[in-house]
Structure 1
Amino acid sequence: MTILKCSATTCMYNQKELCSKGEIEVNGSNARYADETCCASFQERTGGAAKNSFTEGCGCEKIQIDCKARECTYNDNCQCTASSIGIAGEGACQCQDTKCSTFHCQG
């Protein structure tokens, strides 16, 4: 499991920069740079029942990360092996507004 720090505070799963989803998916199968990755699990926080159902859960410091960024140094069979990662996305409205700031291209 990987330690996750997430600045996408507009995500419905974000709890004080931790994730309440339990596992996330990072996309960017052809990424060569961090800006070409994103947190595919991002869901914009909205009002109503959907907001309440996730905000009551606690955020997890360690999380399972399924990584589709094939060229990342930390990707081992689509699993993130970094000890910790950062998901950037302050003010994000959709998953494309986020990125894995820990992404490091092998090549």
Structure 2
Amino acid sequence: MALVGCNVNNCAHNTDGTCYANKISVNGKKARTSNNTCCSSFVNESGYSDFSNSALDNTQCSSLSCNVKTCVNNAGIICALRDVSITSNADSANALSQTYCGSFRCK
């Protein structure tokens, strides 16, 4: 099970700096820097209703896929790292394109 740190404050899966999405996918096929990646599992908390918030699973990530072929940690679409950091330069991300994998390292 991967531990995914998250500083995207308005992501619905973020609880106290840890991502609790059960499946996370990082995209950015031809990325050369971390800013060229994104967390495709990002969900803006303002888009969640009370019903869907109560349906969130409170367990850590059980599947961390990496679709970034240029990352040294990509092991056949699975991230080889045990600890990963998802972050954003925006105070409040509005789209997954405003998130990125802070653990990305280019080959």
Q: Name the TM-score class by shorter chain.
A: 0.7 to 0.9
**How many residue pairs were aligned?**
104
Please report the TM-score for the alignment, with normalisation by the length of structure 1.
0.85
Counterpart position of 1:16: 16
Kept in 1: contact 2:3–2:18 (CA 8 A):
no
Are 1:72 and 2:85 an aligned pair?
A: no
1:52 shift after superposition: 2.7
Which secondary structure state, in structure 1, belongs to the residue aligned with residue 45 of structure 2?
coil
1:10-63 CA-to-partner distances (Å, cap 9, x unmatched) read: 1111111222221100000010110000000101111632563256x4252x54
Q: Distance in 2 between matches of 1:51 and 1:45?
A: 10
Structure 2 spans left out of the alignment, 5+ residues:
none
Identity, % of aligned pairs? Answer: 27
- Amino acid in the other structure paired with 1:82: L
1:39-98 CA-to-partner distances (Å, cap 9, x unmatched) read: 00101111632563256x4252x5421100001000010000012110002521110010
